Structure 1
Amino acid sequence: MKLLKTLGLLLLVIIAVPLIIGFFLPNEYEVNEEIVIDLPIDEVYDYAKLLENQKEYSKWQLTDPSMEHYFEGEDGTVGFISGWKSDNPDVGSGEQEIVGITPMKRIDYELRFLEPFESTSNAFMSFQRMGDNQTQVNWGFEGEMGYPMNLMIPLMGMEKMISDDLQTGLQNLKSLLEK
């Protein structure tokens, strides 16, 4: 009986401690990666503003090249939606909508993930002229995970995972455009 009480108490501590820690962890995360591409800003911007081009450089789209896609509206304009559906759990399904554009400077997106879990996040790409033939591209992502799911942020290394994926996408974009 004493062993059962000890095991029950230990189990309670194992469950309670992470849940208590979760109250003190942030619910929001933010990731921003950048790269310099050796091309004029207009060439980089004109290519990157089109969501359909992400299939050529985005780590997430390249993870499942056979995923289903659908598009609504005029690509490269506010309101354009790029949707996807994949059986790969690392990709899932959802859609990305262009929600704001400052030409040659910034594009803002809303990402709506439907599977494997529902969430909404914001992302952006910004562009800065570094010279006649150089453009700095920043790709950022921010999201929120409510309690107790916010435990996943540090436990799964979500910020590092997303950061690595954004950097891979930027490296792919650089390689593709500088060919």
Structure 2
Amino acid sequence: MPSIHVQTSIDIDAPADRIREVLVDFHTWPAWSPWLYIEPEAQVSYRGDVGQPGHGYDWTGQKVGAGGMTLTRQSNERIDCDLQFLKPFKSSAKVQFDLQAGSQSRTAVTWHMDSSLPFFLFFMEASMSAMIRSDFRRGLLLLKDYVEQGATHSHSEVQGVVKVDAVDYVGCAAETAMSDLSGSMQETFTALHDGLRQADIQSVGLPFCLYEKMNIKRDHCRYTVAMPVAAAVPAPAPLLVARRAECMALKVVHTGPYHHLGNAWALLMSEARHRKLKVHRNAAPFECYLDDPQNTDAQELVTELFLPVRG
């Protein structure tokens, strides 16, 4: 069977002992698990003594399937667990967390998983690895919040399928690695605002971003940041003028820092699959930014996400 190895790291401003306490207590996992984030109403049960081999938790949900994780051993710098999936298909994995203490109470946390796919899914090896790696990144960012601040600051709410009006816009397009998306978008928005100011073009609505292509497996993203305008107007290069067509779209609203938007997108895609919606392949998913990050606390930033679907 095809094998999978995935690992992702993050630096957390806390001693290794504090992080280990969280990781070996599965009662904390619903607060930061990237999968339970998608379905917080999933049924979760616990077993064994916290921090001891045999301690574990089990989950059952309509979106996250069913499975369980069990602590097998821990040391100062390493935690090992067995992971069992029961639904949507049976599989098992070895999970490992490495804790490397650094300077000034900072700890490097690396999340590993070794598993295999059923033989009939051999063609999904690369895409599955990429998706799990993306989930690990989301989970480690939530874990960082939980350990450093005592709570996670990412809340997403599904608002159903809604009608979205057409809008004319002036935009600026870019391509980047998905891992560099945040920095790239800051630069592209700066270029857009500079171009609008130099051309004396007035926007008439909230900024948004169209994701024309997102390839997790290849770590590649092509996107356009945009500002609505009253009507199509001439704009100097590298700006472009276009129209976002009217559409029906599945909508999710996220509250929290922009670096947690991956949670909202994961929820949006999971909800679309759960509802068996037909994604509109000729219309790009997009997100609208309701607040100015210069004047709003990061924890209070509201972003609306839309996935165009066919009726």
Pair in the same fold by TM > 0.5: yes
Higher helix share: 1
The aligned residue for residue 145 of structure 1 is: 117
Q: Which runs of 5+ in 1 are unaligned?
A: 1-25
Please tell me the residue identity of whatever aligns with 2:77: K
Q: Give 1:132 deviation, angstroms.
A: 3.6
Q: 2:103 aligns with which of 126, 131, 137?
A: 131
TM normalised by structure 1 equals: 0.79
Superposition TM-score, scaled by structure 2 size = 0.46
Q: What is the one-letter code of the residue matched to 2:140?
A: L
2:28 match: secondary structure: helix
Quote the Cα distance in structure 2 between the aligned partners of 1:43 and 1:81. Answer: 19
1:146, distance to aligned residue in structure 2 (A)? 4.1
Larger Rg: 2
State the match for 1:95 in structure 2: 68
Matched, 1:116 2:88: yes
Post-superposition CA distance 1:14-67 (Å, at most 9, x none)? xxxxxxxxxxxx710100001000112222221222122111111011111111
Q: Larger relative CO (CA 8 A, sep 6+): 1 or 2?
A: 1
| Mapping 1:1-179, distance limit 5 Å | 27-88=2-63, 91-102=64-75, 104-154=76-126, 157-179=127-149
Q: CA deviation at 1:142?
A: 1.3
Misfit runs of 4+, over 3 Å: none
Query: Which one has a larger percent strand, Structure 1 or Structure 2?
Result: 2
State the identity as a percent. 26
CA distance in 2: counterparts of 1:172 and 1:87, whole angstroms? 22
Report how many residues are paired.
149
SS of alignment partner, residue 131 of structure 1: coil
Check conservation: 2:7, 2:110, Cα contact below 8 A. yes
Shift of 1:164: 0.5
* Superposition RMSD in Å: 1.3
Which stretches in structure 2 are left out of the alignment for 5+ residues?
A: 150-311
